[in-house]
Structure 1
Amino acid sequence: MSTERPSSYVVGLDLVRFACTLMVCVFHLSWHKAEMVTAMPFGWIGVQVFFVISGVVIANSAARASPLQFLKSRFLRLYPAAWLAAVVNFGLLLSVPLTVFGAAGVWVDPTPRALWYSLVLGGTTFLTSAYWTLPIELAFYGLILLAIFGGGVRRFLPVARLLVLASVPYCILLSRSLVAGFELGWLEFGYGPKNMFLLRHGIYFAIGMYFWLLNSQRRLALLDRVLLALVLLGAGLEIFARAMQIVGSYAPGPAGPMSVGFLVSGALAIFAVLAAIIYLSLRHARDWVPRPAVARTVRSLGLLTYPFYLIHEILGATVLHAAQQRGLGPAGALLVALPVIGATAWLIAMHGEPLLRRAIERLLGWQGRATRATLPR
């Protein structure tokens, strides 16, 4: 198997990542408001696309890394920004009435326990709901780490196969239970830590890994072409299940309650388009090379997506409340909130995170970058 990776910057990954962050943000700040519920009703699909991007990027960053290098790079990527975001989030929770978040439809937990879990990125509760995806990411990192110990890139294909064979049957069972109306019992994971088994979301990491493997090898064996088709079907079933589970939580809009068919069709269409962009961006990375100034701008957008995602609910609800108190309507308040969240995320990503990361490297004796992957981290 060839392990050659593209030397060009894959601009499409950061563009998709940033688009997904905006989608998730607008969704979370609008879906409980009757007058805004149609602003981005499919925005939750951005999380699934995040997992696909992780499958690509983590496979790439691990391909030439030792176990220690991989651990360093993942720690420095996840934790400094998360710690700074937790400071912002907890500070706002201490200074803003909790009714503000309830009015915005944003779930929060202002307890020290939730703060601790938001710092370690694991546990049963967090400062706000967006953090639920991070233990899933960590579980995937752990699986990749085992693959590195077991033989490096040669083990990535078995990992992708394992994720398909574990996740697709679960998604079939999950979607069937929602249609037929029977309970899964212990196998209903909700948003809890049992998702770290990757039975539900492993399909998305597998898609990303297969995209990366296709880009590395230029072809897949017949078995893996079948598994890729199967995992794409599994993704469709998981998206259907998510729509079924959350449709009742939307505020009734001007045309009445949201329909499952509308949610599923829109989410599937967006997922298909963004997945295609990810694959084509990898395939044509050497051809689609932006000018340096454009690449720097898009790279900055990609870097700020992680803190943006972590702070968008609490900071967004705070700004929405302040803007509406000054007479702005819901749409105008949202247009104010987005750049405020973006500016705060930019300060974290461009200034706070690098300073904290360098301090950690000095403290632990880690000099320089842990890996030099060419794809966005």
Structure 2
Amino acid sequence: MHPREGSVMPGFSRASSGKEPGARLFALDGIRITAALVVVLYHYIGLNSAWDRSTAELFPALRPVALFGWLGVEIFFVVSGFVICMSVWGRTVGDFAVSRVSRLFPAYWAGIALTALVLWFLPEVQELRHTEQWSDVLINLTMMQGGLGVGHVDHSYWTLFVELKFYALFAIVVLCGVTYRNCILFCGVWTLAAIAAPTTDFRLLHFFAMPQYAPYFIAGIAFYLMHRYRPTMLLWAIVGVQFLIAQHYVRGRMRMNLGLHLSEQLPTWPARLVIAVGFLAIAAVALGYLDRIQWRWLKTAGAITYPLYIIHMAIGITLIHHFRDRVPPLPLVATVTAAMLVLAWLIHVCVERPLSKRLRVGMRRGVEEIRRNTPAPVSGSDSGSGSGSGSVSVPNARAPLGELHVREPALSAFKR
């Protein structure tokens, strides 16, 4: 019997059993910082951009590992599905929007400003320059450049647009009410859409279904439902199906990140193994096997993960390229990585914390203004309003597992 099994009566949330589903999961912070560092390893050692020669000569032992560091992004997406589902429980669409905007944009704006300045004053690596004019930089401030055909100030920002599309999709669940049943329905509908998208010419479906990345988000949602309630055969089936679907795209993702020639030379099993390990790690969190990890430093590590991801690629590669002939390769990579970690911490403390708070307060006022100016529903039309009213939905005898819907504060493994 796993450590959580039997602790929750069927049909009731973990909150009703005395367990706090929103308690901070330090293990998730550890997974996030690990995924971020392997992405850094991929950009600094797996790619040749910073060195003007093959890194196989410079890092013969590390390069074979670094070549698969891009898979940290896939693990990020699983964690994102888990954390977003956790953080929106009992919230309205307005709360969700405030949380996401105030969380994402302050560090992102700081990252754009720093990256643009570094690329302006040290334009040494031409392949890092994806924006042709300053108006493109301004468009990047919206995080919408991926949909407007504008280049990213830093190529790693492409993942943020994928995240935004996930938020837009999950906002539908928030609007309908975040319940066990609605989350399951969402996973099912999204899976069908992701399967159908590659076989249709309906571009809008492909745009939002995101077939290559949907399996990771959906698996993350299923893992959170296991964590909040209990694992069931249905939830394991969802995770298993997503894992198998993800395998279909491994070779294509290798071509995207390593190029056609190198990706055909390398076997796919290391990538498949990394994905499997990532799924198992999130499963261990969901089932409570890692609850004993309470290392406080992981909270800081988790907090700087996002700023680190925002700033590490273009700035780090430029710095390595600038000093590549003056400092030995391994100490140079270690020094630049350490510098990026310190800079990420400074952004978190000096920019993200104060600006996020101000942005959150301002947006909440805007949301309250919308609510004040929204006509009250006609009598009798607001029964069963779900989480949008912030009330308790009383389950009926036929309600499936976990249909008791309680509004509660959810402390996310991501800083919100």
Instruction: Give TM-score scaled by structure 2 length.
Output: 0.75
Work out the CA distance in 2 between the residues paired with 1:242 and 1:364: 37
Distance (Å, rounded) in 2 between the aligned partners of 1:195 and 1:108? 22
Q: For 1:32, which of 28, 42, 47 is the aligned residue?
A: 47
Q: Which moved more, 1:343-352 or 1:161-170?
A: 161-170
Cα RMSD over matched residues? 2.7
- Seen in structure 2, the aligned counterparts of structure 1 residues 228 and 112 have a Cα distance that, compared at 3 Å, is same
* Contact 1:167-1:199 at 8 Å conserved across structures: yes
Whole-angstrom distance in 1 between the partners of 2:99 and 2:170: 13
2:332 is the alignment partner of 1:318: no
Closer, same or farther: CA 249–199 of 1 in aligned 2, 3 Å: closer
Q: Which structure has the larger Rg?
A: 2
Identify which of 45, 52, 69 aligns with 2:95.
Answer: 69
Tell me the residue number matched to 1:275: 279
| Aligned equivalents of 1:9, 1:247: Cα separation in 2 | 36
Aligned to 1:93: 119
Residues 21-60 of structure 1: pairs in structure 2 closer than 5 A: 21-33=36-48, 34-35=54-55, 36=59, 37-38=63-64, 40-60=66-86
Report deviation, 1:12.
1.5
Post-superposition shift, 1:323? 2.6
Q: Which runs of 5+ in 1 are unaligned?
A: 174-183, 251-256
Match of 2:211 among 191, 199, 213: 199
AA at the equivalent of 2:89: A
Of the three residues 91, 112, 132, the one matched with 2:134 is: 112
Deviation at 1:249, TM superposition (A): 6.0
Equivalent residue of 2:125, what SS?
Answer: helix
CA distance in 1, matches of 2:83, 2:116: 30
**Which blocks of at least 5 consecutive residues in structure 2 are unaligned?**
1-10, 15-19, 49-53, 367-407
Identity of aligned residues (%): 23
Matched, 1:157 2:180: no
Spell out, residue by residue over 1:197-230, the C-alpha distance to the aligned partner (whole angstroms, 9 max, x if none): 42321111001001011222213354x5433322
What amino acid is aligned across from residue 328 of structure 2 in structure 1? G
Match of 1:121 among 143, 148, 156: 143
Q: Does the 8 Å contact 2:26/2:298 carry over to 1? A: yes
Within 2, Cα distance between the matches of 1:74 and 1:301?
Answer: 20
Q: 1:244 to 1:322 in 2, by over 3 A?
A: closer
Counterpart in the other structure of 2:106: 80
Residues 31-76 of structure 1, C-alpha deviation per residue, up to 9 Å, x if partnerless? 3321244350101101111110010000001112111111111111
Where does residue 30 of structure 2 map in the other structure? 15
Q: 1:166 aligns with which of 180, 185, 193?
A: 193
Q: Deviations over 1:114-149 (max 9, x none)?
A: 322321111222101111111111111111111111
Distance change (3 Å), C-alpha of 1:133 and 1:90: same
Change (3 A) 1:2 1:107: farther
Q: How many residues align?
A: 342
Which residue of structure 2 aligns with residue 231 of structure 1? 242
- Distance in 2 between residues matched to 1:277 and 1:348, nearest whole Å: 28
Higher helix share: 1
Equivalent in 167, 173, 181 of residue 141 of structure 1: 167
